[in-house]
Structure 1
Amino acid sequence: MILINLLPHREAARKRRKEAFQATMVASLLLGLVIAGGIHLAFQAMITSQQERNAVLHREIAILENQIKEIANIESEIAALRARQKAVEDLQSDRNMPVHLLNEIVRQLPDGVYVTNMRQEGQNIAIQGMAQSNERISEMLRNFGSGTPWLSKPELIEIVASNVSLSPKEQRRVASFNMRVRLLNSGEVQKAQEPAARGVSTSGK
């Protein structure tokens, strides 16, 4: 007996293939969504972890910046204390400068030279006086320039020949001078003496 299939088998097969394709597409879409969701979650976790690390770094940076500010404040306070200490030391050392000035003037003045007026402006000393001769004034300038560590840069401003009355009948010819010299402070004297002290210690070895 011959069986004849009168059903539309081609349309049924096409329908089955279409349904299978649609099922495959849906499964692929779902798989893609799952994969994309996993990647998104992984990236989100990485971003969250990096943000937490960034927050820790920001906190540490803020702590370090505060410490740096505190160190800068401490350094400025130390510098201010050192400046005040140096100012006090300078005042204490400069307190003896008039003593050094008078002592050196007395020691370095040659015989025959007399000081009649002396005025101090800061470290500059203006000296007026009389000398028996110009040679005495030259000797005084040499003494002020190299004979004492406390005086430097002697400068003769004026020298004038004049007469001094020793008695109603006796007059003596003298040289009146006007000069300027610089009085060094203790710090400058110490700096000037350090190379000489190093030279002595080196030669002693």
Structure 2
Amino acid sequence: MILINLLPHREAARKRRKEAFQATMFASFLIGLAIAGAVYWWFQMMITAQQERNAFLQSEIKVLEEQIKEIATIEDEIAALRARQKAVEDLQSDRNLPVHLLNELVRQIPEGAYVTSIKQTEQVIAMQGVAQSNERVSEMLRNLTDNTPWLSKPELVEIVASNIALSSRDQRRVSTFNLRFRLMRTGEAQKAKDSASATIGK
């Protein structure tokens, strides 16, 4: 027996293809939505993790800043203590400076010159006196420059010719001088002595 299909098979095939296409599109949409959701979730997890790391770093930075402030405070205290320690050491080492000053003046002031006043301001000594002549003042300046490690940088501020009365009949012409120089600290004087010894040794 021969069977003949009189139904519209093309329309039925077209309908099946359309339904299959729609099902495929719907499935693709669901898969795409799932992938997009997974990607979004992954990015959110990454953002959350990074925010947590940032928050942790911020808290650690605050802790470090506090520690740095404490260290800076400690360093200031150490610097203040060192400054006080140096001041005490300077005072202790400089307590004999007046003795060295007077001793060196006795050695370095030549005959024919004498001192009328001495004034000390920190390490600078201002000295006034009288000399028989300008040559005596020059000799004294050379002595203060070359012959002592305790006195340095002598500077003649003023020299004036004047007369002094030795008696009612006898007057003498003299040079009144005003000079200043620097009194070296004990450590500086020791360095100058060592440098001079090394130079002589060579």
TM-score by length of 1: 0.78
**Percent of pairs identical after alignment?**
64
Partner Cα separation in structure 2 for residue 59 and residue 193 of structure 1: 58
1:2 to partner: Cα distance = 5.6
CA distance in 2 between partners of 1:63 and 1:190 (Å)? 48
Larger deviation, residues 121-130 vs 66-75: 121-130
1:108 match = 108
The correspondence of residues 118-129 of structure 1 with structure 2, limited to 5 A, is: 118-129=118-129
Partner secondary structure for residue 154 of structure 1 = strand
Deviation at 1:101, TM superposition (A): 2.1
User: Which residue in the other structure is 1:84 paired with?
Assistant: 84
Q: Show the counterpart of 1:158.
A: 159
Task: For residue 182 of structure 1, report the CA deviation from its aligned partner.
Answer: 1.4
Deviation at 1:158, TM superposition (A): 0.9
Against the structure 1 CA distance between its residues 84 and 198, is the aligned structure 2 distance closer, same or farther, given a 3 Å change threshold? farther
Q: Which amino acid aligns with 1:159?
A: V
The structural deviation recorded for 1:175 is 1.5
Name the SS for the 2:78 alignment partner: helix
Please list every run of at least 4 consecutive aligned residues from structure 1 whose deviation after the TM superposition is greater than 4 angstroms. Answer: 1-4, 197-200
CA RMSD of aligned residues (A): 2.8
C-alpha distance 35-116 of structure 1, shift in aligned 2 (>3 A)? closer
Map Cα deviations across residues 25-71 of structure 1 (whole Å, 9 max, x no partner): 11111111222222223333333333333333333333333332222
Provide closer, same or farther for how the CA distance between residues 195 and 64 of structure 1 changes in structure 2, counting only shifts above 3 A: farther
Alpha-carbon distance between aligned partners in 2 of 1:65 and 1:119, rounded to the nearest angstrom: 51
- Name the CA distance, whole Å, in 2 between partners of 1:4 and 1:154: 139
Farther-moved stretch of structure 1 (56-65 vs 77-86) = 56-65
Q: Retained in 2: the 8 A contact 1:101–1:183?
A: no
Corresponding residue of 2:175:
176
Taking the aligned partners of 2:82 and 2:101, their CA distance within structure 1 comes to 28
Which residue in 2 is equivalent to 1:14? 14
Distance 2:84 2:159 in 1: 41
- Classify the secondary structure of the residue corresponding to 1:148: coil
Structure 2: gaps spanning 5 or more residues: none
The Cα shift of 1:73 comes to: 2.0
- The Cα of 1:119 is off from its aligned counterpart by 2.9
Equivalent AA in structure 2 for residue 42 of structure 1? W
Q: TM-score, normalised by structure 2?
A: 0.79
Could you say if the C-alpha distance between residues 123 and 174 of structure 1 is closer, same or farther in structure 2, counting changes exceeding 3 Å? Answer: farther
Query: Contact 1:94–1:185 (CA<8 Å) still a contact in 2?
Result: no
- In structure 2, C-alpha distance between the alignment counterparts of 1:197 and 1:19, rounded to whole Å: 112
Residue 163 of structure 1, CA deviation? 3.5
Supply the distance in 2 between the matched residues of 1:57 and 1:168 (Cα, whole angstroms).
95
Does the Cα contact within 8 Å between 2:154 and 2:179 map onto a contact in 1?
yes
CA gap 1:155/1:4 in 2 versus in 1, 3 angstroms: closer
Find the counterpart in structure 2 of residue 38 from structure 1.
Answer: 38
Alignment of structure 1 residues 127-166 onto 2, 5 Å: 127-156=127-156, 157-165=158-166
Could you tell me how far apart the structure 2 residues matched to 1:103 and 1:78 are?
38
C-alpha separation between the residues in 1 aligned to 2:117 and 2:197? Answer: 36
